[in-house]
Structure 1
Amino acid sequence: MKLRYYAITDKGNFRSHNEDSFFAVDSLVCGQTHGESETVRTLDTEESSGLFALADGLGGHEAGEIASRVALEKLAWMEKAIRPIEELPSSGWKNLIRKINNEVNAYGESIGKPKMGTTLVGCLLGKRKSWIFNVGDSRLYHFTKNGLSKVTVDHNIGEELGSSYGRNLLTSCIGGGTKSIEVDTFDYSGKLSPGDFILICTDGLTEVLNIDQIEKILREHEDLRETCRILSEEANLRLTRDNHTIVIIRIDAV
């Protein structure tokens, strides 16, 4: 599978700092008021698998920016240590993410920040298999010729109740002193086609742009850098109250 990707993160209008972090193949960006990929990059999964993930540090807890960075550092380390990681079964992915949860909790205890926590969402695109994983309410979408659809399920009270209320109350996260977490994994092997996009984002984007508005922007813009920047600008224009991070992957060939 051949693909291109780009990512951007921004603190938004009202926060003094950015608790979001993202990881794209070999690049980790965290704690930046505004950060972007250096350029639109390409990857051939026949040569190397691609790990893409983001983490939204929980603003209601202490040291959210540390929690998001540590979660992605641990994930990136495990992706390199477990080869080929794409061959892990669903249970293996869940155990891997539970291990990250334990390590974030342990790190928080060691620095006197036992309640630090974060969301975690991403995908591993490999030579033979592709996986999507999620803890919390950051999201992953799949855009095809038929439109944009949300793959992940938000882990919050609102989602469980089918209500617009309680969407800021998470039922699962990485860290936060939690021993037991809810982990969703999706075997996405064979479900991506040339021309498809994967969009990974935090709720700083989706709290102000609905799925139809996001889809319209994806349809109207081809350049990945431009698309990321327009989504970020729209979030700020619509006065998002949170940090926002956007990772876009375009599938060029399978």
Structure 2
Amino acid sequence: MKLRYYAITDKGNFRSHNEDSLLAIETIICSQTHGELDSVQTLDTDSVAGLFALADGLGGHEAGEVASRVALEKLSWMERAIRPIEELPPTGWKNLLRKINNEVNSYGESIHKPKMGTTLVGCLLGKRKSWIFNVGDSRLYHLDKDGLRKVTVDHNISEELGLSHGRHLLTSCIGGGSKSMEADIFDYSGKLSKGDFLLLCTDGLTEVLNIDQMEKILRESHDLRETCRILSEEANIHLTRDNHTVLIIQVESV
């Protein structure tokens, strides 16, 4: 597949700092009031698999920005160490994420922040296999000819029990002092077509924009940088109370 991608992160209106981090191939952006990739980037997955991920440090807990950064650093390191990572089976991906969970917990203990934790959502797009993974309530959406749909399942009380409340009560995360992290792994091989988009985002976006609003922006904007900036601006206009990060991948050909 030939891909184009761009990403942006912003602290939002009310937070004093940004606990979100993003990973796009080998670029990590973290702890920035506002950060963007330098330009719209391209990738040919016939040459190398593409790893993309977002992490949202848990608000209300100490060192959330450290947890999100460490999780993405460990993920990036493992992607380079395990080749070809796209050939990992689902059990291998779950073991990889458990290893990251243990690493974040250990690092938190070493700096006397044992409760630091983060969400993690991402995708690995390769020549033969593609994977989506998720821990927590950061999301990945897929836009195709039939519309925008959420691929991931939020790990929170609201979604898991079908309640109207409890959206901020996570049932799984990376770190947080927990040894019982649960992850969702989706085999997404062969499910992307020319012209499709993947949207990865943290809940600072989805708490103020619904799926119809996001789809309208994705369909009407024709430049990835412009689309990311519009989504970020709309989150701030709608007075999001959280940091927000947006990463968009466009499939140019398969």
Give TM class, smaller chain.
over 0.9
Give the match for residue 121 of structure 2.
Answer: 121
For 1:201, give the aligned amino acid.
C
Task: Tell me the alpha carbon deviations over residues 152-204 of structure 1, each in whole angstroms, 9 at most, x when there is no partner.
Answer: 00000001121220000000000000001110000000000000000000000
Paired residues for 1:57-136 under 5 Å = 57-136=57-136
Contiguous gaps of at least 5 residues in structure 2: none
Q: Which amino acid letter does the alignment assign opposite residue 19 of structure 1? A: E
Identify the residue that residue 154 of structure 1 maps to in structure 2.
Answer: 154
Letter in 1 for 2:202: T
Letter of the structure 1 residue corresponding to residue 203 of structure 2: D
Find the aligned partners of 1:160 and 1:67 in 2 and give their Cα distance.
Answer: 24
Q: Deviation string for 1:28-56 (max 9, x for gaps)? A: 00000000000000000011110000000
Q: Write the distance in 2 (CA, Å) between the matches of 1:142 and 1:163.
A: 25
Q: Which residue of 2 aligns with 1:184?
A: 184
- State the partner residue of 1:145: 145
Look up the SS of the partner of 2:23 in the other structure.
Answer: strand
Q: Which runs of at least 4 in structure 1 moved beyond 2 Å after TM superposition?
A: none
| Count of residue pairs brought into register by the alignment | 254
Unaligned ranges ≥5, structure 1:
none
SS in 2 for 1:209: coil
Distance 1:246 1:93 in 2: 23
Q: Does 1:22 align with 2:12?
A: no
What amino acid sits opposite 2:57 in the alignment? G
Q: Secondary structure at the match of 1:131?
A: strand
- After superposition, where does 1:1-40 map in structure 2 within 5 Å? 1-40=1-40
* Partners of 1:92 and 1:142 in 2: CA distance: 24
For 1:160 and 1:84, how far apart are their aligned partners in 2?
33
Cα displacement (A) at 1:78: 0.2
Residue 109 of structure 2 aligns with an amino acid whose one-letter code is E
**2:101 is paired with a residue of what secondary structure?**
helix
Matches within 5 A, 1:158-237: 158-237=158-237
Q: Indicate the SS of the match to 1:158.
A: helix
For residues 47-75 of structure 1, give each alpha carbon's deviation from its aligned partner in whole angstroms, at most 9, with x where no partner exists: 11100000000012110000000000000
Give the 5 Å matches for 1:47-58: 47-58=47-58
- Distance, in Å, in 2 between the alignment partners of 1:112 and 1:188 is 39
- 1:96 and 1:162 map into 2 onto residues whose CA distance is 29
- The two structures have a TM-score, normalised by structure 1, of 1.00
How far, CA to CA, are the matches of 1:25 and 1:160 in structure 2? 31
Aligned-residue RMSD, C-alpha = 0.4
Cα offsets for 1:64-93 (capped at 9, x unmatched) = 000000000000000000000000000000
User: In structure 2, how many angstroms separate the alpha carbons of the residues matched to 1:152 and 1:69?
Assistant: 21
Aligned residue for 2:102, secondary structure, equals helix
Equivalent pairs: percent with the same residue? 80
Name the aligned partner's letter for residue 242 of structure 2: D
One-letter code aligned to 1:6: Y
Give the secondary-structure state (helix, strand or coil) at the position aligned to 1:155.
coil
* Aligned mates of 1:103, 1:121 — CA distance in 2: 17
What SS is found at the alignment partner of 2:165? coil
